[in-house]
Amino acid sequence: MQAVILAAGQGTRMGALTAETPKPMLLLLGTPMLEWKLAMLPDVIDEVIVIVGYLSEQIEAYFGNEWRGRKILYVHQRELNGTGGAVMLMKKILSGPSLVMMGDDLYHPADLSDLTRETSAVLGLKVDDAEHYGLLEVNEKGNLARITERPHGYQTGIVNTGAYLLHPHFFDYPLVPISETEYGLPQTLALLGQDTPVRVLSARAWQPVGKPDDIPLGEAFLRKYAV
């Protein structure tokens, strides 16, 4: 099975930390964040596609074309047109249902394994600070009904963690625009969900690492779930 990691952005919220280093290469417990993500992938993953952009040469030089027996393929996102635009670059590359995740989020390894056993799914987590994230609305069958982006006014809810199992049917649907220049992966997945069930799995744990204050939180997450 293939896995896709979206890692093209500049990471502007990291400030000076990403002035000369791409965000996926920031160190957590002395190891690049992207390396932790590769180490925590399920055994069923035999090829990883990294969508790169900002300072991509550092990522490619570090990992090369193979990492611990897994093939590594790099796809350059020349136009930063959102998560939907990034995934659409995979249309002719993905050979079947594939694990897709953000490059700056840490996931529980068991949650990623659960995703790989689905046909089409998204990983959500119920939190009490939902106002910072997009919300997943779940129907009575446990499937995705709707995506609600912030600001939405809700403090508690099931938020989108940015980890998915995408079926090739995803590419049959037009990308959903979320701004004048960007297209949304989850919004397009919700469009697919109107015709085909998209399971919403409940995450055991999740830690976004998008700003400097998140780095110690990410290291604590890794000590608990990866080390």
Cβ(104)–Cβ(206) below 8 Å: no
Question: Residue 77 has which token pair?
Answer: 């996102």
Cis peptide bond upstream of 32, omega within 30: no
Percent of the chain with pLDDT over 70: 100
pLDDT at 140: 93
What's the token pair of residue 76? 């350059």
Chain centroid to CA 38: 13
Residue 104 has pLDDT above 80, yes or no: yes
Contact 146, 122 (CB under 8 A): no
Residues 6+ apart with CB under 8 A from 96: 1, 2, 168
pLDDT > 90? residue 174: yes
Model confidence at 44: pLDDT above 90: yes
Rounded to whole angstroms, the Cα distance separating 2 from 116 reads 10
Mean pLDDT (whole number) for 145-173: 91
> Residue 157: is its pLDDT beyond 80?
yes
Helix (H) or strand (E) holding 123, with range, is: strand 121-127
The yes-or-no verdict on residue 190 having pLDDT over 80 is: yes
> Cβ-count burial of 94 within 10 angstroms (0-12 exposed, 13-18 middle, 19+ buried)?
buried
Average pLDDT, the chain: 95
Does 106 have pLDDT greater than 80?
Answer: yes
The pLDDT of residue 152 is 79
**pLDDT value for 72:** 98
CA torsion 168-1-126-153 (nearest 10°) is -40
Task: Grade residue 153 by pLDDT with cuts at 50, 70 and 90.
Answer: confident
**Which pLDDT score is estimated for 196?**
94
Q: Which of 116, 140, 133 is nearest to 42 (CA)?
A: 116
Query: Coil, helix or strand for 127?
Result: strand
* Of residues 26 and 148, more confidently modeled: 26
**Topology (CATH level 3) of domain 2-225:** Spore Coat Polysaccharide Biosynthesis Protein SpsA; Chain A (3.90.550)
pLDDT at 82: 94
- pLDDT band (50, 70, 90) for residue 149: confident
CA distances from 33 to 7, 102, 210 (A): 11, 11, 11
136 vs 128: CA distance, rounded Å: 14
Closest CA to 48 of 106, 90, 110: 90
Q: Regarding predicted confidence, which is higher, 154 or 12? A: 12
Give the pLDDT mean for 199-203.
Answer: 97
Q: What is the mean pLDDT of residues 148-162?
A: 87
Confidence grade of residue 70 (pLDDT, cut at 50, 70, 90):
very high
Is residue 192 pLDDT above 90, yes or no? yes
pLDDT bin (cut points 50, 70, 90) of residue 132 is confident
Domain locations along the chain: 2-225
Helix (H, G, I), strand (E, B) or coil at 95: coil
The overall pTM is greater than 0.85: yes
| 107: enclosing H helix or E strand | strand 105-107
From CA 159, how far away is CA 148, in angstroms rounded? 9
